[in-house]
Amino acid sequence: MMSFELTLVDIVDLLLRGGTFGVLLLLIIRFAQRPDFGPLCLTGILFGLSGLIEIILNARPMILVRAQDDFVLLGFQQFHFITMWWFIQALFDDQFRWRPASFWPFAVSPPLIAGSSLAPEHLQWWFMVALILLNVAILALIIHTALRNRSSDLIDDRRSFSLVLAFSVPPFSLFVFVTSFLYVEANLESYLGMVYSAVYFLLALGFSFWLTNLKEGLFQRSGNGALPPVARTEMSAADRLELDRVVKAMEGGLYLEPGLTIGGLADALHIPEHRLRRLINSGLGYRNFAAFVNDYRIDEAKRRLSNPALAREQIIQHAFSLGYASLAPFNRAFRERVGVSPTEFREAALSRPSTQ
């Protein structure tokens, strides 16, 4: 039977892992108990569960028990990376849903994991490098997802958190993954494990604190990325007046401005940007400025595509006149809201018998 002696460093390491385990378990329970259970809660649970397993498998006593059998740890680490990517997508993309493209890492990872552990020794290094590069790509996608829509995000807490997350969790995760391939002296390995546990505990604690202080709007979402707005009676008179100016400007056609941004709208209305974000978010229920603008644009697109006088107008011309820079984002926004492409919608609309 294998035996080992716990040092003070090992004891601190285990205590930190126990604390992280408890924090993640509480987060999992909170996600599971939410009445508005959806993709964000499900991906959060998967991410938390994979983190729990990795914490256990990465503990020094478990490493000694496993000896050189690393493919189990690599498999769970890889699953942790993938669930992290899913969770960040669900957190920052209000339109997130699983698509076939969401599962491509599962096609690439298994042969690389098997090769890095079971291939002939002279080939294992190449499989390890390929696996590291794969995870660099996944972490780059995580950073891109967190920062991509930050400028148009109307939820202030999520905007601030995106910067912290993008430049803390991915680099730390990559560091842990790379060091798992390195063979270091036992004492150094113990200290590295303790540092890893301490950082992981602080990250989990910080994230749980941020999540428990979030408004309910982060979880409540509908098909167009909106949430129930605050009743106008609960708004101050000044907020109601400014919100009326926002709606009047958009209904007057300001949404047709190419490349309209939250900053551009704020300048046009002479309203501070931070206040405009809050007004659109709380007063109209939108979580993202792009969704707010797209709703106006797609409503106008449906009107134009239903007009027999514009039946010969090319779809791309409609896209440009509605403020889109190209056809692709117009098609994507239209399909997300209407369920069919602009061409299909026009064919159906113009095929209906006219009423006198």
Give the domain CATH number at 326.
1.10.10.60
Same domain, 190 and 271: no
- pLDDT given at position 227: 47
pLDDT for 277 equals 92
Residue 56 lies in a domain: yes
Select from 218, 245, 279 the last residue of a domain.
218
What is d(CA 221, CA 152) in angstroms, rounded to the nearest whole number?
A: 17
Residue 63 lies in a domain: yes
178 and 136 inside one domain: yes
The residue assigned the tokens 């969401």 is 102
Q: Which of 171, 195, 218 is the last residue of a domain?
A: 218
Phi, psi for 226 (deg, rounded to 5): -105, 165
Check: CB of residue 329 under 8 Å from CB of residue 315.
no
Residue 99's CATH number: 1.20.1070
Same domain, yes or no, for 307 and 159? no
199 and 250 in a single domain? The answer is no
Q: Are residues 210 and 236 in the same domain?
A: no
Say if CB 139 and CB 174 are below 8 A apart. yes
The answer on 279 and 208 residing in a single domain is no
- Angle, CA 119 vertex, CA 115 and CA 120 arms, to 5°: 150
pLDDT value of residue 212: 66
Rounded Cα distance between 255 and 267, Å, is 14
State the pLDDT at residue 26: 86
Count of structural domains within the chain? 2
Q: Are residues 197 and 136 in the same domain?
A: yes
The answer on 200 and 270 residing in a single domain is: no
Question: Taking the alpha carbons of 150, 154, 160, 162 in that order, is the dihedral positive or negative?
Answer: negative
Per-residue pLDDT tens, the chain, 356 aa: give them.
455 566 777 788 888 888 888 888 888 998 888 887 888 889 999 999 998 888 887 776 666 665 555 677 788 888 988 998 999 898 888 778 888 989 999 999 999 988 888 888 888 889 988 988 898 888 888 888 888 888 888 887 788 778 877 777 777 777 766 666 655 455 556 667 677 778 778 878 877 777 766 555 555 554 444 444 555 667 788 888 999 999 999 999 999 999 899 999 999 999 999 899 989 988 888 888 999 999 999 999 999 999 999 999 999 999 999 999 999 999 999 998 999 999 999 999 998 765 54
Asked if residue 3 is part of any domain, the answer here is no
DSSP letter assigned to residue 173: H
Alpha-carbon gap, residue 244 to 242, rounded angstroms:
5
Q: Which of 159, 191, 218 is the last residue of a domain?
A: 218
Residues 338 and 263 in one domain: yes
What is the reported pLDDT for 184? Answer: 47
Q: Is there a domain that residue 82 lies in?
A: yes
Q: Do 242 and 204 share a domain, yes or no?
A: no
Tell me the residue range of the domain where 145 lies.
8-218
User: Considering the domain boundaries, does residue 258 fall inside one?
Assistant: yes
Q: Is residue 180 part of a domain?
A: yes
pLDDT at 289: 92
Same domain, 67 and 213: yes
Q: How far apart are CA 213 and CA 341, in angstroms?
A: 40
Residue 274 inside a domain? The answer is yes
165 and 236 together in one domain? no
Q: Is residue 1 part of a domain?
A: no
